[in-house]
Structure 1
Amino acid sequence: MTAQSTGHKLDRRLLKFMAEDYVECGGKVYQISLIIDFDEVIGIDIETKRPERLLIRDLKPVSLDKVQDNGFIHRDLTDISDDDWRELERRFAAIAPILNGASRAEIEQHAKSINIHFTTLYRWLRNYKSTGTLTGLLPKKEGRKPGEIRIDSRAEKIIHEKINEHYLTRERHSIQFVMNKIFDQCNQENLVSPSKNTIRNRISRITEYERLKKQGNASVAKDKFAPAPNKYETDYPLQVAQIDHTQVDIILVDDDSRLPIGRPWITLMIDVYSRMIMGYFLSLDAPSTTSVAMCIANAVLPKVE
């Protein structure tokens, strides 16, 4: 399943703190010009060109809506053709020697040695650093964007209505049956009927889980997609965090009377990959949604102070 089929954009970027990298702070985009220490950097506002001191703890990757999409940076990697990959590798190999910084003279000399104009090399370097992903190196994709809809909005609504009424049901009508229903409805409303391929594309976007569940195969969908007891593995830190509760093996007593108060409960959030404890909450109350909420708050809120 690709990112487009689920309605989410892929984000492969890493947040780096190096000179000339782009970051966002307070809703503005800056280019780092100098690293002061472990807490602060100097950033150049890309709109006003004015330098500002920025706290590293406040920096984050540039928002996706502020990144100029070339048609590739949010695509699933399997959707990129072999020719595009070869071009991507060629461009990255060209900028690799100057990624960690180089003077203008060095960049011009390098560009001349690989027979590429230095302004082109600058543009590739800027595209790579501003998008934070290798696919940002590719030239802007022309034509219709993936998932872009260019049919009448009412016709689009009819497609979804008829798919829900006749395809995602226990009767499991054929795709051709659904097409006929869509064509009939469009004719009744004097609308230009969508093509058969358009209807097939809308049906292909339906996840297998949703199709099985709505066509009366909820148990099959559950068996196929629900989590099953097994060894749980992750690929990188912060990919998945788990929360659990346990009663601590100590008994608290009153400071004055020394009478027992009870055994406290501890709620822990643990990163599955590294096994690092990300946050905790300690209470005499039994586990509840409040315990979970307080644990999450402890994990995600800044701890500088």
Structure 2
Amino acid sequence: MSDNFLADKDWEEAEYRAQVLAELPAQLTRGNVDWAMRELDVSRSTLFRLVKQFRQDGRTSALLPDTRGPKSGMQPLDPAVEEIVAHHFKGFFATRRKPTRTRFWREVAADCRAQGLAPPSIRRLGRWLEQHDQAKLMVRREGKDKAERRYLATPGGLTADSPLDIVQIDHTKADVTVVDPVTRRPLGRPTLTVAIDVNTRMVLGFHLSLEPPSLLAVALCLSHAVMDKSHWLTARGIGTGWPVHGIPRAIHVDNGAEFHASAFGLACAEY
């Protein structure tokens, strides 16, 4: 097994931990602690350690698993356990009843215990589900029409229910030529990188540069989109308000190389 594979698996683990911990309220209760323990398949003491690390640091990398000792990949389920899982998948989970993963896990765990078998963790069960064709699963749970709308490329508009649900980032050449302040010789047309909120159609942030589109331009635009604009406006003597900022829930981009650089995805996950 390669080091890159191990690093990728470690990062996936950290991302999943961040997703779960981000849903926990500031004041923990027994209910949400038990839920998080099941989701992450960890002990109570480990969960509280992870919560402390995440809230103090705020970055996904703070949740990377301990790298000491050997690591193993996902082991196959015991055949008897997998038979129970497959039975409940076909007759319960992959149906129009659309039960949650937690309810699916409870049904599986109950049957496993009744047969004296150790039930899989809810996370391991989730990994098992991810191995299935998600489009076919949605057909069985929600119908062909909804599955096709999600998984097939169809014409239509893009909508977002709330601000920051979807933010689109793209580059364009500004329709202006910048000249040298002394020689007046043309230096070129600047590149404008803009982040637009789909729900409000407001410009969330931008970056302007004479450099060609790059990962740096994307990072600076996204940083501008996330930050509060009051200090930025004051520094430039602008009295108009610009009350838009925050972390996008999803970022839509085109196929530019700068958007598909691994550093871009890692940075989005990190912060």
Report the TM range for the smaller structure's normalisation: 0.3 to 0.5
TM-score between the two structures when normalised by the length of structure 2: 0.41
- Point out the structure with the larger helix share: 2
Structure number with greater CO (CA < 8 Å, separation at least 6) is 2
TM-score between the two structures when normalised by the length of structure 1: 0.37
Higher alpha-carbon Rg: 1
- Point out the structure with the larger strand share: 1
